[in-house]
Amino acid sequence: MGKYVITKRANGEFQFNLKADNGQVILASEGYSAKSSCENGIESVKKNSTDDARYEKKTSSNGKYFFSLKATNGQIIGSSEMYESQSGRDNGIESVKKNGPDGTVDDQTV
């Protein structure tokens, strides 16, 4: 089972990373000014991560592949790392779909 890790950035914003069983980050959030907003972002990932329609597959300007997970309102909840191949990106999406719904929360800000 995956794990959501909440941390605080140097600028005071909160963020979360969804990590797979092997500890690798598979989805990273934006920065949130309030911890409650960060926690709402995690709930949104849990709710939206199983829906194929919520994933936007992209290619960066340097030819690497990545994806974003969007909420029902179209706002980006989190983005992936850069992958060398489309299959790597697609495996990343599958990992978020597997680990996202039931991930535990590890709050490292307390």
Q: What is the CATH number of the domain that holds 13?
A: 2.30.29.80
The pTM of this model reads 0.94
Query: Which of 14, 42, 37 lies closest to 27, judged by CA?
Result: 42
Which range of residues forms the domain containing residue 26? 3-107
At 12-43, the pLDDT tens digits run 999 999 999 999 999 999 999 999 999 999 99
Give the total number of structural domains in the chain.
1
